[in-house]
């Protein structure tokens, strides 16, 4: 079973959005060290229920918050998506040190991110 492990907030004004969420919700932001404009969002104590996310300057691509589910195998999941009326809307792309990410659209038009973690790299924290 795949679980939601991450969310992304698209924005045309990262500085304004970061200030808004820091002030309103107390979230913490850290610039991702990769080549793209992307900020990791910490929404609270990792030992409590909830998920963390990201903020990107991609508001033109996705105009709403996008949730991401973890999958074991993107290629196999792509086959299931297409066989069940969905659409793969981006090829898989490597996030160095994390895994492969891609985006799909369900038959109703909703966009969902899919992440296949690198071998041996758990994406969500383990709960004891």
Fold match, 1-59 / 71-123: yes
**Beta bridge pairs of residue 40:** 30, 54
Task: Please state the rounded mean pLDDT for residues 84-104.
Answer: 92
**Beta bridge pairs of residue 38:** 56
pLDDT at position 25 is 84
Token couple for 34: 């990769």
Backbone angles phi, psi at 103, to 5 degrees: -125, 140
The class (CATH top level) of 71-123 is alpha beta
Tell me the pLDDT tens digit for each residue of 21-75: 998 789 999 998 877 889 999 999 988 888 999 998 766 666 788 899 999 999 9
**DSSP H helices in the chain:** 14-25, 74-83
The class (CATH top level) of 1-59 is alpha beta
Provide the whole-model pTM.
0.75
Domain spans of the chain, in order of start? 1-59, 71-123
Question: Residue 128: pLDDT above 60?
Answer: no
- The burial class, CB within 10 Å (0-12 / 13-18 / 19+), for 64 is exposed
Q: Would you say 11 and 17 are in contact if contact means Cβ atoms under 8 Å apart?
A: yes
């Amino acid at each position: 079973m795949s679980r939601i492990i991450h969310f992304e907030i698209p924005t045309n004004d990262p500085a304004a959005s970061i200030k808004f969420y820091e002030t309103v919700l107390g979230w913490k932001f850290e610039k991702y060290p990769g080549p793209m404009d992307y900020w990791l969002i910490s929404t609270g104590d990792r030992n409590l229920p909830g998920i963390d996310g990201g903020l990107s300057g991609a508001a033109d691509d996705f105009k709403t918050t996008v949730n991401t589910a973890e999958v074991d195998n993107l290629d196999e999941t792509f086959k299931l998506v297409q066989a069940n009326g969905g659409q793969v809307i981006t090829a898989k792309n490597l996030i160095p040190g994390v895994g492969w990410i891609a985006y799909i659209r369900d038959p109703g038009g909703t966009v969902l991110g899919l992440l296949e973690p690198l071998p041996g790299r758990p994406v969500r924290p383990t709960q004891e």
